[in-house]
């Protein structure tokens, strides 16, 4: 079985538009939430989100090309470029038939389909007219398509769509292909751009979103007794995954290693988690078994932790079932308290948070916690409100999606 290492990283998030700014603000405990600026949200029940800030797409993409892309694809191209630059990969020196892209997005071109359908609905033309780029802009697989075209990667190429677990599944699939010897390099990650009227309205009608309009910066508060729903975010994350010997042969910088993965289903409800965290329990066990790890070897769990009333309880129950008394020696945190919930892109930026924890021997915090919930064990170390120093060799990243899709990625400190 081949070994899979991380040799390049890229990020575009509500708390930083580059890897360096995202990393710095993650450990500072910065909130990315604020009043929505993309449209007039005055009449909406939830009027805030975790938007990307101060991004000029023209600094990254050709204007003509970018107009043919939905924002979720623009975000994918931007972070893929950062990760490729960071990796030092020379496309003229690698076998492009063994280089691929696997990309996750839970929704795809939401802004495009919303704007085009709205325009057609108000059109006075007897025959509704649509943009010829409507379909290429909205389909989820267009992002990995564009990335492969830019770099000439002719190997494995497709999109993963499993709601909030989409980019974790992309990382898992990419790792498996490399482990099986079917690829040398894969760009894996995810992007999402669902802060739109329909996106916010749809999640709001489900009563999934926080309505803390008077104090949006503290609205994402995982594990807190007063949590009232998640805060929608947008952005992207990318990881260059590479076969170890391939990476060593070119002298690549190695940030960490993917040593285990797990995938399960709740088989319970389309949106609610299993109340006892059954699927979450099983996926962590599966990932630890795949990594051949004992529970004593794990240092940190970056939880799905969306700040929803049911989800946070179920996940902490699952952690206690998997780790037993060892659960009290773990660091646990939800970085969604800062970034909001990036849906299909969440797994990619949370895998990056695990890489950072290993790099810096520092646990990013769960911010905005004020009141303990009696249904969540207060003895668990939830890394509340402030980053904590700790030697981190093994970190787990959990992501769970609507439909009951569960994914866990195990990131390890690289040891040659």
Domains and CATH numbers, the chain: 4-249 (3.40.47.10), 258-412 (3.40.47.10)
Query: Which band of pLDDT confidence, cut at 50, 70 and 90, is reported for residue 125?
Result: confident
How are beta strands 256-265 and 4-12 bridged, if at all?
antiparallel
Q: Which of 84-118 are b and which e, b meaning 16 or more Cβ less than 10 Å from the residue's Cβ? A: bebbebeeeebebebbbbbbbbbbbbbbbbbbbee
In what helix (H) or strand (E) does residue 366 lie, and over which residues does it extend?
none
pLDDT at 128 over 90: no
Cα–Cα distance measured from residue 271 to residue 209, given in angstroms and rounded to the nearest whole number: 13
Inter-residue contact 156 to 182 (CB < 8 Å): yes
Half-sphere exposure of 123 (CA within 13 A, CB side): 13
180-213 pLDDT tens trace: 999 999 999 999 999 999 999 999 999 999 999 9
36-77 pLDDT tens trace: 999 999 999 999 999 999 999 999 999 999 999 999 999 999
* 18-27, 34-43, 120-129, 240-249: segment of lowest average pLDDT: 120-129
Closest CA to 58 of 69, 70, 66: 66
Catalytic residue among 50, 164, 354, 369: 164
| Catalytic residue check, 304 | yes
Cα–Cα distance measured from residue 48 to residue 34, given in angstroms and rounded to the nearest whole number: 5
Helix 110-122 and helix 197-205: axis angle, to 10°? 100
pLDDT at 313 over 90: yes
- Chain centroid, CA 141 distance in Å: 17
| Catalytic residue check, 354 | no
**pLDDT score, position 307:** 98
Instruction: Tell me the β-bridge partners of 104.
Output: 160, 190
211-246 pLDDT tens trace: 999 999 999 999 999 999 999 999 999 999 999 999
Pairwise pLDDT comparison (129 vs 19), residue with the higher score: 19
Instruction: Tell me the β-bridge partners of 400.
Output: 406
Catalytic residue among 169, 246, 274, 341: 341
Q: Rg of the chain over CA atoms, in angstroms?
A: 20
**pLDDT score, position 298:** 98
**pLDDT score, position 357:** 98
Inter-residue contact 162 to 403 (CB < 8 Å): yes
| Catalytic residue check, 50 | no
- The label of the residue with tokens 């659960």 reads 327
pTM above 0.85, yes or no: yes
Q: Provide the sign of the torsion angle of the four alpha carbons 271, 274, 275, 280, taken in this order.
A: negative
């Amino acid at each position: 079985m081949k070994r899979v290492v991380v040799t390049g990283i890229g990020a575009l998030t509500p708390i930083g538009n580059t890897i360096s700014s995202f990393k710095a603000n993650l450990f500072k405990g910065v909130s990315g939430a604020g009043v929505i600026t993309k449209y007039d949200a005055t009449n909406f029940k939830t009027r805030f989100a975790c938007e990307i800030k101060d991004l000029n797409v023209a600094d990254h993409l050709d204007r003509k090309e970018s107009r043919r892309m939905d924002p979720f694809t623009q975000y994918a191209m931007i972070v893929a470029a950062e990760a490729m630059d960071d990796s030092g990969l020379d496309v003229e020196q690698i076998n492009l038939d063994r280089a691929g892209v696997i990309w996750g997005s839970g929704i795809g071109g939401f802004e495009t389909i919303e704007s085009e359908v709205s325009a057609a609905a108000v059109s006075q033309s007897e025959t509704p007219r649509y943009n010829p780029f409507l379909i290429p802009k909205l389909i989820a697989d267009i992002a990995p398509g564009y990335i492969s075209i830019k770099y000439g990667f002719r190997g494995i190429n497709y999109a993963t769509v499993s709601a909030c677990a989409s980019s974790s599944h992309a990382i898992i699939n990419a790792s498996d292909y490399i482990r099986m010897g079917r690829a040398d390099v894969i760009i894996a990650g995810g992007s999402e751009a669902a802060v739109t009227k329909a996106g916010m309205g749809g999640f709001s009608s489900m009563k999934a979103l926080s309505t803390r309009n008077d104090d949006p910066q503290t609205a994402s508060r995982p594990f807190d007794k007063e949590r009232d729903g998640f805060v929608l975010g947008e952005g992207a994350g990318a990881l260059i995954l590479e076969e170890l010997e391939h990476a060593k042969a070119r002298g690549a910088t190695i940030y960490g290693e993917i040593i285990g993965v797990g995938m399960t289903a709740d088989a319970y409800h389309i949106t609610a988690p299993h109340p006892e965290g059954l699927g979450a329990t099983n996926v962590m066990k599966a990932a630890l078994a795949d990594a051949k790890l004992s529970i004593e070897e794990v240092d940190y769990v970056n939880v799905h932790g969306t700040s929803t009333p049911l989800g946070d309880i179920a996940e902490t129950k699952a952690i206690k079932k998997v780790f037993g008394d060892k659960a009290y020696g773990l660091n646990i945190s939800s970085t969604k308290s800062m970034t909001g919930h990036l849906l299909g892109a969440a797994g990619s930026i949370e895998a990056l948070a695990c890489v950072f924890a290993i790099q810096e021997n520092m646990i990013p915090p769960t911010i905005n916690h004020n009141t303990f919930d009696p249904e969540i064990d207060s003895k668990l170390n939830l890394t509340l409100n402030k980053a904590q120093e700790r030697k981190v060799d093994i970190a787990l990243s959990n992501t769970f999606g609507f439909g009951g899709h569960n994914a866990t990625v195990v990131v390890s400190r690289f040891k040659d």
